Amino acid sequence: MTGGILKKPLIGDNGQEQNDSKLIRFVTFNVNGVRTLFQYQPFSRMNESLKQVFNYFDTDVITFQELKIERSVIQKWGQVDGFYSFISLPISKKGYSGVGCWIRKYPVGHPLHHFMKVVKAEEGITGYLKIKLDKQRTTRYRDDPNINIGGYYDILSEEDALTIDSQGRCVIVELSCNLIIFSTYCPANSTKTEEGEIFRMRFLKVLFGRIRNLERMGKRVILMGDLNVCRDLIDSAELLDQANIKIENGINDMSKIYYPIYKNFILNPETPHRRILNQLLTDSLIPECSKDGILIDSTRFIQGRHRLKMYTVWNTLKNTRPSNFGSRIDFILISDKWKDKIRNSNILPEVMGSDHCPVFTDMSFAIQEINCAPKSDVKIPKFEASFKYNLLNHNILTMFSATSNKKRSISCSSSSSTSSSITDITNNSNSVLHSSANNLSKRIKSNSRANTIDSFFTTEKSVGSKTKKTTKTIYPNQSRATSDLIISEPTSKGNIQKQKLTFKDIFGEPPKCKHGEETVLKTSKSSNNPGRRFWTCNRPRGSVNDNESSCGFFQWV
């Protein structure tokens, strides 16, 4: 797997690779639209194959958030060779949110075959959603002990619970090794409304409450995904700036120096979501929070508190990724009782394709405990994408072939019918009408041939005696907006010079910013000055203490 992000082998004290344990990798990635991912390297070379993506990450368990897909295209993402697929989509909003979790299938005879086998799976966090048992019967997850995972946290009415689970935000999978994986995309309340905050807190309370219940039942839990919460002050560049805290090299633990500020950041009554997340963590900075914690932040556990600017999301509109001015809201939180199994964990900021970056964690399991996994065969859960979305009896190639044949059949039938009608007319008409009918038949056939894939690439326009032919090449890596552009006629050199002169005449020479560099022209999108042009520093936004980032220069045109 050339160019992939491979697991590092386990090395013993003798310097030799260990054979008495196996590594299992977990990856979380908010892709912000799974189709968009394939517009970036190295994924653009993978023919929209999720299997190739998963192999690139060398992962055993992977979760994507913000799939932004609809049921009509679920076949493409719901059947991945060699993986169990579990996908939750919003009930009402199309092309919004959506979470997927894929578990690698190991062949019979492989040490991890039974250990990684999926035994149960659920959609949502409340258990009130329904699952289809067969063609006639459905049931709520919580009502059938044969399919439910349990541990339900009942603080909501059924109506409120169904609202919580209506946005396609969580997939829960139980493996035979006594592990329960929560793949989540938690609400953010970006609009800062009271209603949004109530929804967010209800979701987090039910989610965290259920995780606690499952741990009490003796299960081991991994919570992975975009939690949309910064757990610590060092996890937000913007909030560090607001607190006037400058990141300095050589400081082992900034929280000890600025502890009162850190404590207020976590316990601030205006941000209760941050407090309840810290109450879930055994490694919270605040003792009153960590005393009841049950999960550990695997990435911080490996990287330590001295690792700063370890961000997982950046503001795309402000182009803050180049200066690494972001925040960390993507986590892989693991049962504290399994923290001794964590071997490696890190962010992957070099992987493009989204405003987020992936996060991975490698865990080591001894062969002895792997061999203790139950050996009984279990049925694949009804929530597996093949069953839930009825993909078993559908093949994508067959579907397209059938559609194509149907179109050809209709086209032939139409042409045949038209030709037949024309023939009937011409039998009772003169030769001139007969000739016209033949021409009409040819035009009909020509039109049906034009409705092929070639017509998307080449079009001909006849204007008077001149014929202009415009060819559009669509590159697989281009965005839709780019590929929709049509190449116009070549512009003469004189016209180009006139355009340049016109631009300078209107806007003038770019002024210099505080760095002494030419500024860039932008357009205001604010409600106060919509469409107004202004000059600003060309460097990406960053910390106020970072001389390499934007100097803040601003000047209206």
Tokens for 272? Answer: 């209760």
Q: How many CB atoms lie within 10 A of CB 475?
A: 9
114 labeled binding residue:
no
Task: Specify the pLDDT at position 429.
Answer: 41
Judged by DSSP in three states, 342 sits in: strand
Active site residues: 185, 226, 356
pLDDT at 309 over 90: yes
- Contact 213/151 with Cβ under 8 angstroms? yes
Query: What percent of the chain clears pLDDT 90, i.e. is strictly above it?
Result: 59
Residue 122: pLDDT band with limits 50, 70, 90: very high
Task: Specify the pLDDT at position 403.
Answer: 53
Using the CB atoms, write b or e for 80-114: b if 16+ within 10 Å.
beebbbbbbbbeeeeeebbbbbbbbbbeeeeebbb
Query: Cα–Cα distance between 553 and 538 in angstroms, integer?
Result: 9
Task: Specify the pLDDT at position 495.
Answer: 52
Phi first, then psi: give them for residue 268, nearest 5 degrees: -55, 120
Query: Cα–Cα distance between 119 and 102 in angstroms, integer?
Result: 14
Phi first, then psi: give them for residue 370, nearest 5 degrees: -65, -40
> Which of 13-27, 283-297, 363-377 shows the lowest per-residue confidence on average (mean pLDDT)?
13-27
Q: What is the mean pLDDT of the chain?
A: 82
547 labeled binding residue:
no
Phi-psi region of 228 (alpha: psi -120 to 50; beta: other; left: phi over 0): left
- Contact 295/306 with Cβ under 8 angstroms? no
Q: How many CB atoms lie within 10 A of CB 464?
A: 5
Task: Specify the pLDDT at position 443.
Answer: 44
Task: Specify the pLDDT at position 320.
Answer: 95
439 labeled binding residue:
no
Give the mean pLDDT of 389-411: 59
Query: Cα–Cα distance between 410 and 404 in angstroms, integer?
Result: 10
pLDDT tens-digit readout, 141-197 = 999 999 999 999 999 999 999 999 999 999 999 999 999 999 999 999 988 899 999
Query: What percent of the chain clears pLDDT 70, i.e. is strictly above it?
Result: 75
Task: Specify the pLDDT at position 513.
Answer: 83
pLDDT at 556 over 90: no
356 labeled binding residue:
yes
Residue 525: pLDDT band with limits 50, 70, 90: low
Give the angle 351-355-361 at the CA atoms, nearest 5°.
50
- The pTM for the full model equals 0.74
Tokens for 115? Answer: 């250990």
Q: For residue 340, give Cα distances in angstroms to 168, 302, 377, 414.
A: 33, 11, 30, 70
pLDDT tens-digit readout, 48-89 = 999 999 999 999 999 999 999 999 899 989 999 999 999 999
Q: How many CB atoms lie within 10 A of CB 144?
A: 13
* Domains in the chain: ranges and CATH: 21-228+329-388 (3.60.10.10), 493-556 (no CATH)
